[in-house]
Every structure is written in C-alpha cells, then in structure tokens.
Amino acid sequence: MKKSRGGKAARTSSTNKASSQIRIIAGRHRGRKLPVLDAEGLRPTTDRVKETVFNWLMPYIQDTRCLDCFSGAGSLGFEALSRGAQQITMIELNRSAAQQLSANKTLLKADNLDVLNTDALQFLASNQDEFDLVFIDPPFRQGLAQKSIDCLAKQGLATSALVYIETESESSDLTVPDTWQLLKEKTAGQVTYRLFQCD
C-alpha cells in the first residue's frame, strides 16, 4: 500500500471518511474512541503494541515534551496526551489526516497539542526545540526511520531524551548514535519496535 513520506496515510481524495477508530487505553481519556481517516495506507499502532510501549514509558511519560513524527491516526500522540505528557506536537504530511487529527484535538479539548501539516523530515532537519520523547513510526519500506534518526542525532533532543522507533521486521537494522542506549526491544508479527535513551 502506498504511504506518504510525511505520515502514515497515503495521499487521498476529499471523499475519504473517518469510519475507523482508535482507542485510548489509559489515563485521563481512558476508553475514549477517536475517529480515524479511512485512507489507504493508514497504519495505526495496534493496541497490543501500544500497551507494551506505554508500559515501557510509564516511569517517564509525565510532563514530557513529546514529538509524534509521521503521526497518521495519532494513536501514540493521543495516548501520550492522555497519560500526562505536558506538550504534544504531531507531524503529518497528508492534509486530510492532519485535519482529522485537529478535529480529534478539538474533541479532547487538548490545548497542549499542536498538529502540523508538514513533512516530518523537513521538520526534524530545521527544528530548534528540544523534546523529551520522540515517536518515529513512519511508513514502511522507505528508509524513513534511518533518515529520522540521522536528523535527530544532529539536534532536537533534550538531555536523557527517549526515542521510540517502529519498523518493519524484515529490515529492522538501524544505525544509531553511540550515545543512544537501547532500553527495550520487541517484535510482534511484521513489526519490530524499540525504545532508546539518549545519554
């Protein structure tokens, strides 16, 4: 399935509808279901993977400044918001998907969440802010995870920042800076996901 470079949704026509849903697992908005754009190529993080990831993040998530690259359905960003992140920035290139993220922001009355309809790699290359937690869950088989790592290695991370990376299992070899320590790693079906801490 074709996926856009800046988000998990492919470029789609104006006839797309929000007919699917994601569920927030825990926190302030626990159990809340949010509409998701019904677009070819949209690949929200599954509840199974998301639950594991946020169990990993439990000691760290409170009051973090969070960047959700390639946000797509916003599954990771909205979960972080619900669990106490201080500020969320969502990056999504697909305009319709970004509009749906903004609509869901309004549903949750999330004043501490920003949705940017832009290219994730361009944002990372020019970003001057420091984030405590970064989610990298790009479209598969385009080499975007490695390109995102290369950008982050140059700028954009706070001291002891955490970086979550989700890739396809068959091409999961990544080159990360020597200062990044692998905290957790797991494979579920076709997906490999890791959590790094930047020393």
Contact 78, 29 (CB under 8 A): yes
Tokens of 88: 């969320």
Neighbours of 189 (CB within 10 A): 9
Tokens of 146: 């490695």
What is the per-residue pLDDT for 17? 53
Tokens of 80: 């972080």
pTM score > 0.75 for this model? Answer: yes
> Three-state DSSP class for 108?
helix
Q: What ranges do the domains of the chain cover?
A: 20-198
Alpha-carbon distance of 20 to 191, in angstroms, equals 21
Closest by Cα among 197, 192, 199 to 60: 197
Alpha-carbon distance of 166 to 135, in angstroms, equals 8
What is the per-residue pLDDT for 42? 67
What is the per-residue pLDDT for 172? 67
Low-confidence stretches of the chain (pLDDT beneath 50): 1-7, 9-16
Which CATH architecture is the domain 20-198 placed in?
A: 3-Layer(aba) Sandwich (3.40)
What is the per-residue pLDDT for 40? 60
